[in-house]
Amino acid sequence: MELVEGLYLLVTLGLVVAGLTMVTLALQAYRQTERYAMIHLSIGFSLVVAAAVATSISAFLTEFTATPSLLTVNNGLTALGFVFVVYSLVTYR
């Protein structure tokens, strides 16, 4: 494994830990407040984490040969995740 691949895994791990922490906090907030915005927030961060994990796994399985496709899928899932995050902010009352 090259240095850049190791760094990529390390950064992805950091994103996954931070993202899952946000998911957990949003679900706890939902249990306390019963506001559906917290569900949307948790879905959004789940999608961001899923994009990171799926891209990392796919990148190593394809030996980084399908980079344009991987980045397109990653950006699509991440954008969809942020749509849910923004929606949770707009609908929060």
* Full-model pTM: 0.92
- Local confidence pLDDT in tens for the 93 residues of the chain: 899 999 999 999 999 999 999 999 999 999 999 999 999 999 999 999 999 999 999 999 999 999 999 999 999 999 999 999 999 999 987
User: Nearest 5°: phi and psi at 8?
Assistant: -60, -45
What is the Cα–Cα distance from 12 to 55, expressed in whole angstroms?
A: 9
Cβ-proximal residues to 11 (8 Å cutoff; 6+ apart), any chain = none
What is the Cα–Cα distance from 80 to 60, expressed in whole angstroms?
A: 24
Q: How far is CA 88 from CA 6, 42, 53, 66, 83, in A?
A: 34, 9, 23, 33, 9
